[in-house]
Structure 1
Amino acid sequence: MRLLPFIFLLWLTQVSPHLLAQTRHEALFTLHGSNTIGSELAPRLVQGFLQGQGYRQVIIKPGNLSNETRVEALTPSSNQTVAVIIEAHGTATGFGALKQNPTDIAMASRAINSEELRGLSQLGNMRSFSSEHIIAIDGVAVIVHPHNPLAELTLDQLAAIFSGHITNWAELGGANAEIHLYARDGNSGTADTFKSLVLSDQPSLSGDAQLFESNRALADAVAKDENGIGFVGLAAIAQCKPLAIGQSGVDALKPEQIAIATEDYLLSRRLYLYSADQPEGSLPARFLRYVHGAEAQALVAKSGFVSQTPIAMQVRPDDGPAEYLALVKDAQRLSVNIRFHEGSAELDNKAKHDIERLIQLAKTEAFRHRKLLLVGFGDQQQTDDRALVLSRLRAITVKAELHANGIRVAPVAGFGAANPVAANTGSARLRNQRVEVWVL
């Protein structure tokens, strides 16, 4: 009898391509991939979208297997029941489903990698503006039991813990107790993000870590273990205690809204949808437009992630060049940083949508008579002068886009490699290539 579950899973694996194709045929459209997106956010977005399209009695129902969901509805003009199918078994499964053609949209809690990009080349350039859609900002939160006295860790300490080089809380100033590791499994984009940001210079994740397919299950386990530490998406912190994360020469930041929205938090990340070009006017194409709008971004916030809709916040920096501190003294900071393709002043895909959001914000009554202030920063270059020029050029690029749409912008400023939010080494330095947006 013990062999029956194994035999069933083996059978399911063999027939799953056929079943997936059949499911896709019967659905309005399908999404496969990231559990971070698919567990709650994607169903809410699909529900909101269908309601806006005139579908009636839109309800979210569990699917046939764990981490699968059906969003069912009645069509606008009849009582026919239709559904959108969401299967959330990890980012890698989304790209696999996109390649095999049993899904319309892949959900990913990390950017597509080079191998996946090549494997999907027959569908076009998956990094293009029409194929890559950033739908929310998330923070990979490092969580411990609420009674744990630890407040912050550096990236180096975090790497030593999860690679098994630090195994006792006493090594971090805590109790003399063994550290228990909790991690997401190999299909998870959360795990991929954590490994790339934290374990890139370490051998591998410790074999002692307990692995989970679900963020929620991992957080529940840490909440019951006073010696536990794990990592989850921002929306799954639940009853656990999130730690501030820093780096040598960079202040530790908690996974809080402003730090995540601006992507200054070292473990912040983007959440993506990927799709081949959809026929104009098709439901998938309309859904992909919908996720960038204010209504969908409000659902992002309700789901526990950070919306990309810019909001003005009172922020008082206490560090940086004197000219910078004087510029922003009486300004409010918007919850967005404009970012660029590596080493250039070319807007990335998120930035292009962020520009559109800034234009909409600037045209509202509350902001119509105010000016935007753009402040550029960068990573260290061969010379300070080059870093300064690039930081200013990035701010000028943003100003040109806004000015072309009639938006008032104050004279721009650039401060080179000042005020780093990450170390100026490796891929981390890309976080420093940014334009802050303030409102005067």
Structure 2
Amino acid sequence: MRKLWIFGVCCLLLVGCSTNQKTTKKTELLIGGSTSVQPLMEKLAENFMKESDMKVSVQGGGSSVGVKGANEGVLDIGSVSRELEDEEKEKLDGVVIALDGIVVIVNQKNKVQNITLEQLHEIYTGKITNWKQLGGVDATISVVSREEGSGTRDGFEGIVGFESNELIKDADIQNSTGGVISTVSTNANGIGYISMGSVSDQVDVLRVDEVTPSVETITNGSYALQRPFILATKKDSEDAQEFFNFIFSEKGKEIIEDMKYIPVNQ
């Protein structure tokens, strides 16, 4: 009888432990990845923490860092500014939270106001090398691009239509959105590309095929240079569900719009 009593107590303890494990709520989220998505995530996290006791920390590193970190469990959420690849989708769930335009920027002294996708292709692959060929001054074009693994770079190259190995060899490679802006703003002959939500008054934005990047032209599809903002998590993970609920709430959508991005419905 004593053995049966001890066995019963042990079973109850095991059930209790199992129940506690299942109901334990995560109190902190670590988000990392795309530097384009980072400012938006920081703003969303800041407002979310006013309504929740959960702590959210946000860092950058690039879209490839976001995918790798989410896949390895180092990050609770990986932020990605490109479509997930098929092999990535096998291990990760990707949720599109917003649409973003990739805008082409030049120095404020540059008189060129419009550029075509074909011209962008020829600039970034080295076939057009002088602003004079585009109706500008007689000066060599200084091509600025992002690093390998950048979601903005992947999106830009995919839409413009060239591979990374075709990029002009002397391109100035920057590791962040801020680096691209800083470089173009101080180089009269520079050209680069950044997230629409990160546009600064330090640079000018070009029309692409005579279409100005805006919420309206991205929504209706007339502006060609656009991509999704995706949050990636481990398959079937529910750790970040409370945060996702906030993002897709009316308050979350307002924040996305205020940051010059386009919210999407879940």
Q: For residues 86-105 of structure 1, what are the structure 2 equivalents within 5 Å?
A: 86-105=58-77
Check if 1:278 corresponds to 2:250: no
Q: Deviations over 1:194-220 (max 9, x none)?
A: 111113379611121111111112112
SS in 2 for 1:253: coil
The correspondence for 1:140, drawn from 88, 102, 113, is: 102
1:196 aligns with 2:148: no
User: How do 1:324-339 residues align onto structure 2 when only pairs under 5 Å count?
Assistant: none
Give the match for residue 131 of structure 2. Answer: 169
Question: Conserved in 1, the CA contact under 8 Å of 2:100 and 2:262?
Answer: no
* 1:186 Cα offset (Å): 0.9
Q: Report if aligned partners of 1:154, 1:245 keep a CA contact under 8 Å in 2.
A: yes
CA contact (8 A) 1:298 1:307 kept: no
Contact 1:45-1:299 at 8 Å conserved across structures: yes
1:182 partner SS: strand
1:48 aligns with 2:4: no
CA contact (8 A) 1:219 1:236 kept: no
CA offset digits 1:59-118 (Å, max 9, x no partner): xxxxxxxxxxxxxxxx7xxxxxxx42322110011111122111111100011012323x
Instruction: Report if the CA contact (8 A) 1:89-1:187 is conserved.
Output: no
- Residue 256 (structure 1) aligned with residue 214 (structure 2): yes
CA deviation string 1:214-268 (max 9, x = no partner): 111211211111111000111222121111112xxxxx21112211233331001
Aligned to 2:225: 267
CA root-mean-square deviation: 2.0
What residue in structure 1 maps to residue 115 of structure 2?
A: 153
| Residue 114 (1) aligns with residue 114 (2) | no
SS, match of residue 88 in structure 1: strand
Return the letter of the residue paired with 1:307. I
Equivalent position amino acid for 1:306 in 2: Y
Residue 306 (1) aligns with residue 265 (2):
no
**Offset at residue 291 of structure 1 (A):** 1.1
* Identity level (%): 26
Which segments of 5 or more consecutive residues in structure 1 lack a partner in the other structure? 1-25, 56-74, 76-82, 247-251, 309-349, 355-440
Q: Give me the whole-angstrom Cα distance separating, in 2, the residues matched to 1:306 and 1:225.
A: 28
Q: What amino acid does structure 1 have at the position aligned with 2:170? A: D
Q: Aligned partners of 1:207 and 1:133: how far apart in 2?
A: 35
Contact 1:34 1:90 in 2 (8 A): yes
Q: Contact 1:263–1:269 (CA<8 Å) still a contact in 2?
A: no
| Kept in 1: contact 2:33–2:64 (CA 8 A) | yes
Shift in CA distance, 33/135, structure 1 to aligned 2, threshold 3 Å: same
Does the 8 Å contact 1:95/1:106 carry over to 2? Answer: yes
In structure 1, the residue matched to 2:204 is: 241
1:178 to 133, 140, 155: 140
Secondary structure of 1:132 counterpart = strand
- Describe the SS at the equivalent of 1:161: helix
Deviation at 1:27, TM superposition (A): 6.7
Q: State the alpha-carbon separation in 1 of the partners of residues 244 and 198 from structure 2.
A: 25
For the residues of structure 1 that align with 2:51 and 2:219, how far apart are their CA atoms?
26
What is the correspondence of 1:290-301 to structure 2 with a 5 Å cutoff? 290-301=246-257
Q: Which runs of 5+ in 2 are unaligned?
A: 1-25
Report the Cα distance in structure 1 between the residues aligned to 2:221 and 2:51, rounded to whole angstroms: 30
Secondary structure of the residue that 2:213 maps to in structure 1?
Answer: coil
TM-score normalised to the size of structure 2? Answer: 0.83
Match of 2:33 in 1: 33
Change (3 A) 1:272 1:202: closer
The separation in 2 between residues aligned to 1:133 and 1:146, in whole angstroms, is 37
CA distance in structure 2 between the partners assigned to 1:194 and 1:245 by the alignment: 13
Q: Which amino acid aligns with 2:31?
A: L
What is the rounded CA distance, in whole Å, between the counterparts of 2:221 and 2:261 in structure 1?
10
Q: How many residues align?
A: 239
Write the distance in 2 (CA, Å) between the matches of 1:263 and 1:213: 29
Alpha-carbon distance between aligned partners in 2 of 1:263 and 1:290, rounded to the nearest angstrom: 27
Q: Aligned partners of 1:221 and 1:149: how far apart in 2?
A: 18
More contact order relative to length (CA 8 Å, sep ≥ 6): 2
